[in-house]
Structure 1
Amino acid sequence: MNKKEIGFTMEEFQGRIQKVRKSMEERGLSLLLVNTPENIFYLTGHKSPGYYMYMCLVIPLEGEMTLVLRRGEVGNAQVYSWLEGEGLVAYDDTDDPLQKTVDVIMEKGFQGGRAGVEFTSWFLTTKNFLDLQTKLKGAEIVDASGTVEQTRMVKSAKEIEYIETACRIVDKAMAKGIEKIQPGNKEKEVAAAFFSEMCLQGSEYYGTEPYVASGPRAGAMHSSWGERVMQNGESVLLEMAATVNRYHGALMRTAHLGKPSETMKEWAKVCIEALNAAINAIKPGVTSEYVDEACRGVIERAGLYENYRKRTGYSIGIAFAPDWGEGYIMSLQKGDQRLLQPGMVFHMPPALRKLNAYGVGFSETVVVTETGCRVLGNTKRELLIL
């Protein structure tokens, strides 16, 4: 038998499953089908880059769960998940995975009723959904999106430990990347330094690549590295994440080559003030909207909202590509009246951009505490002038 490498105790996994089943009961579900890799990881520990192939965790209201997955991925499941034996059902590449899933459901004695499906999952294709409707006889298929996610919003002590370790890796990798920001160097050299240091410090593969954008490329959100040569008089916008046991911590900073313009200095000042305002606003019991207003208000009063126009932050934790965040679970944004609770973790990246000109931004990953919040990184919060 393969040696298990599970990142949590069975007690913690069982607690998560009990919460999900309680939610299932409240929704009147006799069955839940989970296709989202982050949710499957959360409940079983299974992780693999091969999640692009069909995978489904079958959760009856009572009885044992079963993970239906590609045969080639069974080895990973045997190592990283607590499931074993009949809890893992494999399909060959020439099999119909939907039929295999339905067979598993019927073997569990499913007699019809409400079957919950994650309508918002990126990994449940339209074809597979339609096949499921055809093959799962007697079932009322309903939207169960968020059933697992709502239990993921508040992190356990162990989850926070993983995120904090990822943030420490990001601090070190950011410092290594900044060393490569010199006139005449290419953006890809900064990215290479990021990748190398993150791997050496213990990061796994992560949900999104680092962003390295110099000069006019910094004016566009999510600009990644390329062959561009960095030049004196330009800003370089940097954003990156690291991951430990699939838990991410992220960081954004801005460096400037040479003397910055008054605009650049003012924009950096506003971004940092907005970030500080958000950090100071966070505490249990306040709404998501309240934190967003604290951050956005600084930017609006500076007359720069048109260069901003986005949410203040988003939940961060478990992630597989194509994202490193959990914004689909909770975002700090206008109109969101949900209350913050101790143990929630957010990445907050206020940034100002002028398309095809320049950009500046700063961020922190923070955990909500009993009295406020705690910043998980240690990189100095300032415009770095090189």
Structure 2
Amino acid sequence: MFANPFTDEELGNRLETVRAAMAERRLDMVLLSTPENIFYLTGLDHWGYFAPHLLVVPPEGEMVLITRQMERVSIERQVRNALFQGHADNETAADLAVRFLKDSLVAKDRSRAVLKAVVAEIEEQSDGAMRIGVETWSSGHSYGFGHALRESLSDVHWVDITGLVDELRLVKSPAEQALMRKAAAISDAAAAAAIDAINDGAAERDVVAECHATMIRAGGEVPGFGPFIRPGPRLGEEHATWGNDTYRAGEPVFIELSGCVSRYHAPLGRLVHVGSIREEDARMAEVAGQAFDAVLGALRHGTRACDVYAAWQAVVDEAGLAHHRRHHCGYCVGIGFPPSWTGGNRVTGLRHDSDLEIHEGMTFHILSWLMGTGKGDFFVSNAVLLGPGGAEVLTKTPLGPTVKE
């Protein structure tokens, strides 16, 4: 959260790919508002995304980033491939965006070149209306923001491009894969610290404090989520974390966390048992491991997400757990801003009904979740990269069962 991690060549290649997708959809301009997508194209990494950001992507020339004026210094230091337009706090990003589009970037010479290219394409259209793509399903595109744009700019064809850049982000470049590996090493260090701190009578807050401190000292930055560390009786509280209690012998402790390096995440999950583990849970740990390995074997270039899920479910069924179904056995992961490491406001999961095609270079958080089966409980998860030689598990923390005396 202090430096742009990408080379000009890396950013340039991404922009070219986005513009190729724009050309396929006959778009004259794209307005991006998803923090992860703005970061992907510019490298802007800060907490200012709580306020609307709008990245204007023309068919050629420099992009323009619109947000609060007070973000000027961060943007000038981090962003090398976009002009900056800032608004005061007595107006909104939509106000400035409308002026920007209406005035056609007349303030800067380089922007005039962009305008001429856009106008030339507009004049070729029979109705003379500009086709502008917007992410209607985005944390940065509120109802009020979208309404202001549409009401103020009537002679425009608005096109929903939700997912256009998100899909391009699924396959990671070598530079991105290197960041994922660094994040995975921090995940392992943080998990080791948390596991070491867990014992009978350990305070929940002390455990997570050790985890957080280790994560930061190992080179990590603020992750999109968590860490989620909580006792077994509170396992069903999805996306909840530590409380004010202590851990007790005979109870499991749920751990799910991710290191973060330059906004890239490599999550892992473990179940730690305090004092002892039930025999049925130990047996379920074996099944969870086998099902996890089945997913690794099924992750191949060109296969579909539903086939990967089917491989996981087949192991579960064979173990006598045909009644147990999950909404997915993992999901794509990489760039993430708070409040999530999933890459935005949707989850691209390995579901039973997904036709998502798997490609080399994709990274996943693979979960083998066998909790609430009625025949024992266990789960394990890891960050996984699909490389040229197959699935590579990036996080190295032992799978368990882990019993802390």
TM-score range, shorter chain: over 0.9
1:48–1:239 Cα change, 3 Å: same
Q: Distance in 2 between matches of 1:320 and 1:304?
A: 36
> For 2:371, which of 353, 358, 378 is the aligned residue?
353
Structure 1 residues not aligned, in runs of 5+: none
Question: Which residue is equivalent to 2:45?
Answer: 47
Question: Which residue is equivalent to 1:368?
Answer: 386
Q: Distance in 2 between matches of 1:321 and 1:149?
A: 16
Q: Distance in 2 between matches of 1:170 and 1:354?
A: 26
Q: Distance in 1 between matches of 2:245 and 2:368?
A: 25
8 Å contact kept, 2:288–2:368: yes
Deviations 1:15-74 (A, max 9, x none): 100100110111111010000000000000111111010110011122221000111212
Shift of 1:281: 1.5
> For 1:100, which of 96, 100, 104 is the aligned residue?
96
Question: Which residue is equivalent to 2:26?
Answer: 28
Question: Which residue is equivalent to 2:310?
Answer: 293
Q: Distance in 2 between matches of 1:371 and 1:267?
A: 29
Question: Which residue is equivalent to 1:325?
Answer: 342
1:275–1:220 Cα change, 3 Å: farther
1:272–1:223 Cα change, 3 Å: farther
Question: Which residue is equivalent to 1:313?
Answer: 330
Letter in structure 1 aligned against 2:401? L
SS class of match (2:164): coil
Q: Distance in 2 between matches of 1:308 and 1:384?
A: 25
> For 2:228, which of 194, 197, 211 is the aligned residue?
211
Question: Which residue is equivalent to 1:377?
Answer: 395
Q: Distance in 2 between matches of 1:269 and 1:195?
A: 30
CA RMSD of aligned residues (A): 2.1
Q: Distance in 1 between matches of 2:101 and 2:292?
A: 48
Find the structure with the greater CA-based Rg: 2
Among the aligned pairs, what percent are the same residue? 32
- Report how many residues are paired: 381
Shift of 1:7: 0.8
SS class of match (1:33): strand
Q: Does residue 29 of structure 2 align to residue 19 of structure 1?
A: no
Q: Distance in 1 between matches of 2:52 and 2:364?
A: 30
Letter in structure 2 aligned against 1:269? E
8 Å contact kept, 1:235–1:360: no
Question: Which residue is equivalent to 1:69?
Answer: 67
Shift of 1:133: 0.4
**What does 1:74-223 correspond to in 2, within 5 Å?**
74-83=72-81, 87-106=83-102, 107-108=104-105, 109=115, 112-223=129-240
Shift of 1:336: 1.7
Letter in structure 1 aligned against 2:293? N
Q: Which region of structure 1 is more displaced relative to structure 2, 159-168 or 305-314?
A: 305-314
Q: Distance in 1 between matches of 2:87 and 2:142?
A: 18
Letter in structure 1 aligned against 2:353? G
Q: TM-score, normalised by structure 1?
A: 0.93
Q: Which region of structure 1 is more displaced relative to structure 2, 27-36 or 251-260?
A: 251-260
Shift of 1:90: 0.5
1:213–1:358 Cα change, 3 Å: farther
Q: Distance in 1 between matches of 2:147 and 2:167?
A: 26
Q: Which region of structure 1 is more displaced relative to structure 2, 167-176 or 371-380?
A: 371-380
> For 2:248, which of 215, 231, 242 is the aligned residue?
231
Q: TM-score, normalised by structure 2?
A: 0.89
Shift of 1:330: 3.0
Q: Distance in 2 between matches of 1:98 and 1:215?
A: 46
Shift of 1:297: 2.1
Q: Distance in 2 between matches of 1:146 and 1:153?
A: 11
Q: Distance in 2 between matches of 1:237 and 1:306?
A: 23
Q: Distance in 1 between matches of 2:92 and 2:396?
A: 50
8 Å contact kept, 2:229–2:253: yes
